Amino acid sequence: MFKRPRPYAFSRILPGMISEQILLKKNTLRSFFSGHTSIVACNSFMAAKMLTDFYPESKVKPIIWTTATLLPAITGYLRVKAGKHFITDVLAGLAAGAAVGLL
């Protein structure tokens, strides 16, 4: 969506400098926001909303919503750990996905 370099694009030799060879890769400038995290957030929050709407008296609501939050959070953590995204990319993806899933 936005042309923000991924964390791995920054040179380890000269911190803050972007390696030109890495910039030539197709997905290098597609860091913001995290698509993986937003898709998982959208689906998990939509499923949680549907389940709680269909079963409003359910005693497992806290488990449903905790799971709906943990799935995209874990996905985002793994994306940051892999060097594919900055934490802000993941947080924005989670927020956007959750908003769409709840609509």
2 assigned to some structural domain: no
Number of domains, the chain: 1
Judged against a pLDDT cut of 90, whether residue 9 lies above it is answered with: no
Measured CA to CA in angstroms, residue 94 lies from 21, 36, 55, 57, 77 at distances of 30, 9, 25, 27, 11
62 assigned to some structural domain: yes
Q: State the greatest distance between any 2 C-alpha atoms of the chain, in Å, as a whole number.
A: 57
pTM comes to 0.77
21 assigned to some structural domain: yes
Q: What is the mean pLDDT of residues 7-34?
A: 63
For residue range 27-71, what is the model confidence (pLDDT) as tens digits?
Answer: 666 767 888 899 999 999 999 999 999 999 999 999 999 999 999
93 assigned to some structural domain: yes
Domain span at 36? 7-102
| 8, 29 Cβ separation under 8 angstroms | no
